[in-house]
Amino acid sequence: MRLLLISDTHVPKRARDLPPPLWAAVDEADVVVHAGDWVDVTLLDALERRAARLIGCYGNNDGPALRARLPEVARASLGGVRLAVVHETGPSGGRERRCAERFPDTDVLVFGHSHIPWDSVAPGGLRLLNPGSPTDRRRQPDCTYLTATVAGGELTDVVLHRLPHR
């Protein structure tokens, strides 16, 4: 199962649309995971139409229309991998411990908010992933997203993709 992990798209405030390489990744993915800060329902509608399966939550920049359609925390079981998706996890210091306590029945937690890519494992085995942002790099060198594979009940092949500067 091929996963595409994105967050903090901020369409149309930071970009008019997702970059073409990201739309190509949507087409290739079995599951698209979005960790919030969509900003407008237009992108949610477009991803729902185009993605084979979409799992997402709302972020702090998402208003009532998005919050009416998305949960604060999304959960799914993907090929035996227990996934949770949330926008904010607080400061980086102590993140693994806090998230392991908050998500004890989770194998992989996808989060956003900081626009900073993150990949770590908490005590007890919880994998924490932040794909960064494909449209708003802030102080990062590149806009980014993640891909991964679920096979044999495990998350494998986690790859950070850097998008060309526009």
User: Quick one: which H or E segment has residue 22?
Assistant: helix 20-28
Q: Tokens 């996890």: give the residue.
A: 89
Q: What is the pLDDT of residue 9?
A: 97
Distance, CA of 118 to CA of 90 (rounded, Å): 13
Q: What is the pLDDT of residues 87-135, one digit of tens each?
A: 999 999 999 999 999 999 999 999 999 999 999 999 999 999 999 999 9
pLDDT in tens, 33-51: 999 999 999 999 999 999 9
The pLDDT assigned to 148 comes to 98
Its pTM stands at 0.97
> Going along the chain, which residue ranges are E strands?
2-6, 31-34, 54-56, 73-78, 81-86, 108-110, 118-121, 127-130, 143-151, 154-163
> For tokens 């949960």, what's the residue?
71
Nearest Cα residue to 149 out of 28, 19, 51, 8: 28
Check residue 13 and give its pLDDT.
Answer: 86
Question: What CA dihedral angle connects 84, 130, 81 and 60, to 10 degrees?
Answer: 10
User: Average model confidence (pLDDT) for the chain?
Assistant: 96
Q: How many CB atoms lie under 10 A from the CB of residue 25?
A: 21
Whole-number pLDDT of residue 164: 81
Mean local confidence (pLDDT), 59-73: 98
User: Does 27 score more than 80 pLDDT?
Assistant: yes
The answer, yes or no, to whether residue 7 has pLDDT greater than 70, is yes
Query: Domains of the chain (ranges plus CATH)?
Result: 2-163 (3.60.21.10)
Give the whole-angstrom CA distance, residue 25 versus residue 21: 6
